[in-house]
Amino acid sequence: MKTLLALWGLSVMLSAAEGGALYQKCAACHGAKGEKAALGKSEVIAGWKADKTLDALKGYKAGTRNTKGMGAIMKGQTATLSEGDMKTLSEYIAGLK
């Protein structure tokens, strides 16, 4: 039981670290804490619910989301992300404030 708990703790830590690593390339536009309107256009995404962010990222990747006329930029950003990456990122962003 202890081992299981330790493993669970470790995986939570690892996914937070992975989220931070994945988020690096987003920070240039969205801010280190998700506090900026990217390119003066996007909404501030810090603290967005993980579901909402995941939906948005999937939409950009699929090329179906374009709320500010700059969806093509986000399509490029999400092109190489797997669904797992997008989930990890969404959870990471939900924790930003």
Measured from each CB, the residue nearest to ligand HEC is 26
Tell which one of 16, 58, 71, 87 touches ligand HEC (CB under 6 A): 71
CA distance 63 to 66: 8
Q: Return the number of the residue (7 or 49) whose C-beta is nearest ligand HEC.
A: 49
Q: Does 70 bind ligand HEC (CB under 6 A)?
A: yes
Phi, psi of 58 (to 5 degrees): -65, -40
Q: Does 29 bind ligand HEC (CB under 6 A)?
A: yes
CB 53 within 8 A of CB 90: yes
The minimum distance between CB 77 and ligand HEC, in angstroms, equals 4
Q: Does 11 bind ligand HEC (CB under 6 A)?
A: no
Q: Does 41 bind ligand HEC (CB under 6 A)?
A: yes
CA distance 30 to 49: 16
Q: How big is the CA angle at 10 (ends 34 and 57), to the nearest 5 degrees?
A: 35
